């Protein structure tokens, strides 16, 4: 048999009247010195339950943030080590470039010195040979 009188639609429409009558009956029949602490106690229990439910739903979020923090710390260490290695590599490359430049300068200056000697040697050979042609 379908419930004609007690269904969800009727309950939604009647709820404000039920709440009003319940509140009136509570304050009419329960003394104020017992009623107010009882209301405060019930409200504290409701708030504690709500916080408990909220904390359970955010435990996963807290775990994710903890994991993210730990991973970010490891990433920071890896990035720092990578930056140090890159800096060392740049220093090594810079020293190598400076050494190559110094060797090129040294080679260039020594070739100028020897080049002048060779030029002088060729000039002396031409002068000594004169304008004679070889047979």
Whether residue 133 is contained in a domain is answered as: no
Whether residue 115 is contained in a domain is answered as: yes
Name residue, tokens 């304008």.
131
Q: What is the 3-state secondary structure (H, E, C) of 74-116?
A: HHHHHHHHHHHHHHHHHHHHHHHHHHHHHHHHHHHHHHHHHHH
Taking only the tens of pLDDT, the chain with its 135 residues reads 567 778 888 889 999 999 999 999 998 999 989 999 999 999 999 999 999 988 877 666 666 777 777 778 888 888 899 999 999 999 999 999 999 888 888 888 877 665 555 566 666 666 666 666 655
* pTM attached to this predicted model: 0.34
Range of the domain at 69: 39-125
Whether residue 2 is contained in a domain is answered as: no
Alpha-carbon span 64 to 70, nearest angstrom = 10
């Amino acid at each position: 048999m379908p419930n004609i009188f007690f269904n969800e639609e009727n309950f939604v429409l009647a709820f404000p009247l039920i709440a009003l009558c319940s509140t009136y009956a509570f304050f009419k029949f329960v003394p104020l010195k017992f009623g107010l602490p009882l209301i405060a106690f019930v409200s504290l229990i409701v708030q504690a339950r709500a916080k408990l439910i909220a904390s359970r739903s955010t435990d996963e979020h807290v775990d994710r943030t903890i994991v993210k923090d730990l991973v970010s710390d490891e990433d920071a260490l890896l990035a720092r080590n990578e930056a140090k290695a890159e800096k060392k590599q740049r220093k090594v490359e810079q020293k190598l470039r400076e050494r190559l430049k110094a060797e090129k300068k040294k080679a260039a200056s020594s070739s100028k010195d020897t080049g002048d000697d060779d030029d002088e040697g060729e000039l002396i050979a031409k002068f000594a040979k004169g304008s004679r042609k070889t047979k």
